[in-house]
Structure 1
């Protein structure tokens, strides 16, 4: 008798576009027996790198669960030495975050020009706290509590917003949001070209 082992192929998944209701849901915690979690995480890394991202959250691939992945080492490693001094104590990370919950944020608020794979071709300066302490489990469901700083904290806070049903544009002043309305409407209607797969609201 021959056992047919199912082969899992790593896939690039379509990214959900602005206007899709999943992006506004508060995502749920998961348990270690979540179906095909290992494959899902592998696909999220593949999707993130395939779209030149530094982080991606599960709601962006249409799964309302508290899971995101971050590779801020790409940013830190790409900086010149004098630029690295702007982010003391931040060497970048490549990490999986499951069931993340913020313990506290701190430090001085600072601005950084952010973009989002779900809101393509829109970039704006967003103010966020300098540090974030998170409790979460890693991909082996080992409990973690760590404090992150600098651009790594920034990427984590951006992805954390996704699992709380928020987007980076929510941090903008109302006038700036109004100025972006036509661009956002075009994204929702699929009137935009990107070099990665997207799912648009029906």
Structure 2
């Protein structure tokens, strides 16, 4: 189904402005000595250059070349409209205007070629620093299998205790010496009423300490 064209004020205004501008350019070219089909080619050339420059400006707003050719085409169209408004005698066109009209085809061809074949400037992108070192590989931070428990460290061996020095064997007390010591201890108990101390018995008998201690142990003296 064909799409319906909506007629509005802007479209009507564009058609009227384009027709008037086209007619003014044709009249000026014809007055400058470009008769026949050449007079009709001039408005087409001006309008095509104006459209090409405008399309270039839509993609590259900061393109100075596109702005330059857009202003040139607009000046040509606007100048023809003003010149044909009665300010210029079309029956006696000055020489400089005839030169401009005659040189317009070469100028329009140059502008159109530059607009078509000049690459548009790409928007500047922030440069990223180049990393000479390769990126570290990603390592998974989780595991699906349970890790095996680490073996426990071996227990330190218990320190070996130094063997105790051998105790000297208790001296053997002769029976006669033991009876004599018992008599002395009994006499002391009978006299004082208390057991005889071991050191007192050792001093009384005049024996070495080990022998006296053995006798005291057998007699149960304190």
User: TM-score band (shorter)?
Assistant: under 0.3
Structure whose CA Rg is larger: 2
Q: Report the TM-score, using the length of structure 2 for normalisation.
A: 0.18
Q: Report the TM-score, using the length of structure 1 for normalisation.
A: 0.19
Q: Which has the higher contact order (CA 8 A, sep 6+)?
A: 1
**Richer in helix (by share):** 2
